Amino acid sequence: MKVIIQRVTEASVTINHKEVASIEKGFLVLLGIVNEDTKEDIDWLCRKILGLRVFPDENGVMNTSILDVKGQIIVVSQFTLHASTKKGNRPSYIKAAKPDVAIPLYKTFIKHLEELSQMQIQTGEFGADMKVSLLNDGPVTIIIDSKNKM
């Protein structure tokens, strides 16, 4: 399971010209899932995301978490995070989990993030053609792969 976390001052997701999610200060989390991902990957990633100290403290040092600043989160599924570009110029997405595997894990990820954070997590729509807008704050962008814990 791989995520790209962007610290934002605002972010939104639009599907068919209709805004389906919108936040102010917080995280836009792009989530990519592979067949080997498990509930242990979900738990580890959710705890890592919520514990990241990437918001400024009173001295302007990145030392506070999203929970500390009472931020918001949007999670967007993104199978392209597992693209392989080793051969040719057309990416291969063979490592990305198919919907029958990915959708349950995606939903479990969101539910677990909500349970741990005690906040409502906003989302895009799995498999939809989404337009994602954001104003990256910093810019701060963090990439985490649950297969690289060590």
Top-confidence residue, 80 or 116: 116
80 as an active site residue: the answer is yes
Structure tokens belonging to residue 93: 């997405």
Q: What is the rounded distance in angstroms from the CA atom of residue 125 to the CA atom of residue 148?
A: 27
* Beta strand 26-32 pairing with 72-77: parallel
pTM recorded for the entire structure? 0.95
Which is nearest to 39 in space by CA: 105, 85, 84?
Answer: 105
In three-state form (DSSP H/G/I as H, E/B as E, the rest C), the secondary structure along 3-40 is: EEEEEEEEEEEEECCEEEEEECCEEEEEEECECCCCHH
- Average pLDDT, stretch 115-123? 97
Please report, as a single letter, which amino acid is at residue 39: K
Q: What residues does each domain of the chain span?
A: 2-145
Read off the DSSP letter of residue 40: H
> How far from the centroid of its chain's Cα atoms is residue 80's Cα?
13
Contact present, 47 and 14 (Cβ < 8 Å) = no
Nearest Cα residue to 28 out of 50, 47, 11: 11
What gap in Å lies between CA 107 and CA 99, rounded to an integer?
11
pLDDT digits (tens, 9 = 90+) for 10-26: 999 999 999 999 999 99
- 3-state helix/strand/coil string of 98-147: CHHHHHHHHHHHHHHHHHHHCCCCEECCCCCCEEEEEEEEEEEEEEEECC
Active-site residue identified among 9, 38, 64, 80: 80
- 2-145 classified as CATH 3.30.420.40: no
The string of pLDDT tens digits covering residues 22-77 is 999 999 999 999 999 999 999 999 999 999 999 999 999 999 999 999 999 999 99
